[in-house]
Amino acid sequence: MEEVHEGVRYRPYKSELDLPDIVGQITSELSEPYSVYTYRYFIHNWPELCYLAYDADTGRCAGVIVGKLDQHRMGHLRGYIAMLAVEPAFRRRRIGSHLVRLALASLQQQGCTEVVLETEVTNGAALNLYERLGFIRDKRLIRYYLNGVDAFRLKLWLA
């Protein structure tokens, strides 16, 4: 369902026609490369965890989030935020936080008990965003990314 919040329209993924916006946002903002298979793997299996944000005035795509949910080897349901990107021109408006909240609500509704993601240790903005939502830095992954940078695995436990 769609909602408008502070001049930004949020809606879940609808169809293949959304893919150019999603790919465009992720490719331009994130350093790691993803093939079209990766996008389709996430979005077609978990469309309810993919949200897009559009500027309510101009209709321009402002941000996107992609995630998944499956059973952890310990038996509980674990959510994963695979990609989150916000267009630079639309930053500092809490669009990223809102996208994450939408994804978390959807995960919680499906019985998810914990959510994880990885982010670069140097990505201060992402760390602030997720820590404000209650994520903690669970592990440090040495040389995780292709560019040799370490990553933090962030984790949030849902009630």
The length of the chain is: 159
Residue 38 is a binding residue for other proteins (CB under 8 A): yes
Residue 111 is a binding residue for other proteins (CB under 8 A): no
Shortest reach from residue 79's CB to other proteins, in Å: 14
Q: Binding to other proteins (CB under 8 A): which residues in 51-70?
A: 68
Shortest reach from residue 90's CB to other proteins, in Å: 22
Residue 34 is a binding residue for other proteins (CB under 8 A): yes
Q: Using DSSP, how many helices (H) and how many strands (E) does the chain show?
A: 4, 8
135 φ/ψ angles, rounded to the nearest 5 degrees: -70, 145
Q: What is the C-alpha to C-alpha distance for residues 16 and 30, in angstroms, rounded to an integer? A: 21
With CB under 8 A as the contact rule, the residue among 33, 59, 75, 88 that binds other proteins is: 33
89 or 159: whose CB is closer to other proteins? 159
Instruction: State the DSSP code for 31.
Output: S
Strands (E), the chain: 3-5, 8-12, 51-55, 61-71, 77-86, 114-120, 136-141, 151-157
Residue 75 is a binding residue for other proteins (CB under 8 A): no
User: Which residues are near other proteins by CB under 8 A?
Assistant: 15-17, 33-38, 40-41, 44, 68, 121, 127, 131-134, 136-144, 146-148, 152, 155-159
